[in-house]
Homo-oligomer: A and B are copies of this chain.
Amino acid sequence: MTNKGRPAQNGKNADDARAALIGAARKKFVSKAYDKVSIRELAQLAGVNSAMIKYYFESKEGLYKAMVTEVTGQVIENIKLHLSSGKFDSIEEFFRSFVEMIKESPEFPLLMLKEMVLNQGVCREYFIERIGFKHMKVFDQVYHHFKDSGKLRADVDPLLFRMSLMSLTLHPWYMRELIGTMEGVQYDEAFLEKMIKHNTQLFQHGCFNEEGKNDQ
């Protein structure tokens, strides 16, 4: 019971047609609707036979879920890395960390949008379970952090604070391609920095005590 059987041999060396399939799924499923992506299309891009999907993932949905697991896994890592504590010196630092997090998993916002907002019926529950609450919690923590430190104005509504935070941090990524084509704007360092400053401006003056501000 050691090393029998034909070894995996996609392309060069080791064990993975599996990895190739997940890679293909990452590309295709992010930019196209679930049903518009055929297993033949995926197999072709991965350079393997479509039956390999059954072999490794049981079904198309199995492959999709494996891909979601991989992406959300990375995102969870990045959230831990950049946003874990929820303890930020300033709201600007939060906006900057959030951008940093997204930059490392740029497929994520659209994937989430498709799963959670659109009822594609692929694995909404699974996705929400895996990432939804954890993700939402970040905004929650930010609210409480600033609330507890006494920097937030008393009249700021918790839900609306979180909602507007979400809107301003996520929506621009949904619009990325559109903004790119219509306005000719790339999401480069300079632009993202301007966005961070702009959002900071809005929140700093809109939700925070004037006396409590410590930088700029």
User: A81 contacts the other chain (Cβ, under 8 Å)?
Assistant: no
- Which residue of chain B has its CB nearest to the CB of A158? B183
- Number of copies of this chain in the oligomer? 2
Asked if A174 meets B113 with Cβ closer than 8 Å, knowing A36-B121, A164-B168, the reply is yes
User: A167 contacts the other chain (Cβ, under 8 Å)?
Assistant: yes
Contact of A194 among B160, B182, B185 (CB under 8 A): B160
Q: Is A198 a contact partner of B157 (Cβ separation < 8 A)?
A: yes
Which residues of chain B are near A206, meaning CB under 8 Å?
201-206
Which residues of chain B are near A118, meaning CB under 8 Å?
32-33, 110, 113-114, 118, 120
Q: Is A33 a contact partner of B120 (Cβ separation < 8 A)?
A: yes
Q: Is A121 a contact partner of B32 (Cβ separation < 8 A)?
A: yes
Q: Is A136 a contact partner of B182 (Cβ separation < 8 A)?
A: yes
User: A119 contacts the other chain (Cβ, under 8 Å)?
Assistant: yes
User: A48 contacts the other chain (Cβ, under 8 Å)?
Assistant: no
Alpha-carbon separation in the docked complex, A156 to B201 (Å): 10
User: A49 contacts the other chain (Cβ, under 8 Å)?
Assistant: no
Q: Is B121 a contact partner of A117 (Cβ separation < 8 A)?
A: no
Alpha-carbon separation in the docked complex, A70 to B136 (Å): 35
Alpha-carbon separation in the docked complex, A45 to B203 (Å): 46
User: A166 contacts the other chain (Cβ, under 8 Å)?
Assistant: yes
User: A163 contacts the other chain (Cβ, under 8 Å)?
Assistant: yes
Contact of A175 among B36, B117, B157, B172 (CB under 8 A): B117
Which residues of chain B are near A194, meaning CB under 8 Å?
157, 160
User: A8 contacts the other chain (Cβ, under 8 Å)?
Assistant: no
Distance in angstroms from A46 CB to nearest chain B CB is: 20
Q: Is B32 a contact partner of A119 (Cβ separation < 8 A)?
A: yes
User: A171 contacts the other chain (Cβ, under 8 Å)?
Assistant: yes
User: A179 contacts the other chain (Cβ, under 8 Å)?
Assistant: yes
Q: Is A116 a contact partner of B178 (Cβ separation < 8 A)?
A: yes
Contact indicator per residue, chain A 148-182, by CB within 8 Å of chain B (1) or not (0): 00000000110111011011101110110111001
User: A195 contacts the other chain (Cβ, under 8 Å)?
Assistant: yes
Alpha-carbon separation in the docked complex, A157 to B118 (Å): 31
Within 8 A of B (CB), among A190-209: 194-195, 198-199, 201-207
